[in-house]
Amino acid sequence: MSVQNPHDRFFRQSFGRPDIARNFLEEYLPPDLQQALDLNTLVLQDGSFVDEEMQTHHTDLVYQVGLTHNSHAYLYFLFEHKSYPDPWVAFQLLRYMTRLWERQQQDKESFAPIIPLVIYHGEKRWQVATDFLAVIDAPPELTPYLPNFRYLLNDFSHLSNETIRGEIWLRVSLAIMRAIFDPALQSNLSELISLVLELRDKSKGIEYIYTILYYLSDATDRLSRDELQVVLTRHSEQGDRLMTTIAQEFR
């Protein structure tokens, strides 16, 4: 899969880091599921299972994770970067997970459990059912004979930066993704940049700050590069030497 859109690129650069993915799982997985997984064993897997025509709307990442009873499972992250909820996402997930199982079949492996997680950051709240049976029009007496699963939904569309949990790397990445479709992005930009600057003293923090700035300038029409430059310059005028350098290089 070629990485062509800014949402795809930013999600991979963020959640493709096992430390950020692990912190996300620690903060947002249900406790009973966490107890069944050894999150210290996360290993990012190669490849994507998303349909070519859906690559502008979906990004996926797969992690293998050990189970507490010495087997393993897969965590299937689907980043939904439409601005609105998709009622067919469960069906799309089924296709993607089946492809992962097909790969295991080719390797003559027994099927490992796949836990699907959907991360959504659109304009509207996600009000779509999270179980596969919701897309099947069938009477209750047929339910035992139909395939079903439930995906874990994380909807960040309505959260404030203050309510986003996690360590600074995770909080910044989620805050940025949430802000992209936020109608108030311009008015909240200075506060957002201040949060981003908390990464400045972290290892590879400066590199990630640039990643964030390019995402903000490329992924939304709510913010022009000139408007972003104004905020960067404002921070540099407050005596922030790092922001002076960034503002000059970002012209």
pLDDT at position 192, please?
92
How many residues appear in the chain? 251
pLDDT at position 83, please?
80
Residue indicated by tokens 């959504």? 120
pLDDT at position 224, please?
83
pLDDT at position 88, please?
94
Q: Are 21 and 37 in contact (CB under 8 A)?
A: no
- Token pair, residue 64, equals 């293998």
SS3 string, the chain, reads CCCCCHHHHHHHHHHCCHHHHHHHHHHHCCHHHHHHEEEEEEEECCCCCCCHHHCCCEEEEEEEEEECCCCEEEEEEEEECCCCCCCCHHHHHHHHHHHHHHHHHHCCCCCCCEEEEEEECCCCCCCCCCEHHHHCCCCHHHHHHCCCCECEEEECCCCCHHHCCCCHHHHHHHHHHHHHCCCCHHHHHHHHHHHHHHHCCCCCHHHHHHHHHHHHHHCCCCCCHHHHHHHHHHHHHCCCHHHHHHHHHCC
pLDDT at position 239, please?
55
Contacts of residues 18-27 at CB distance under 8 Å and 24 or more positions apart, as own/partner, are 18/42, 18/43, 18/44, 18/63, 19/169, 20/169, 20/170, 20/173, 21/61, 21/63, 21/75, 21/77, 23/166, 23/167, 23/169, 23/170, 24/166, 24/170, 24/174, 25/75, 26/166, 27/165, 27/166, 27/170
pLDDT digits (tens), the chain, 251 positions: 344 689 999 999 999 999 999 999 999 999 999 999 999 999 999 988 887 777 667 899 999 999 988 899 999 999 988 888 999 999 999 999 999 999 999 988 789 999 999 999 988 999 999 999 999 999 999 999 999 999 999 999 888 889 999 999 999 999 999 999 988 898 899 899 889 989 988 888 889 998 998 899 888 888 888 888 888 888 766 656 676 777 777 66
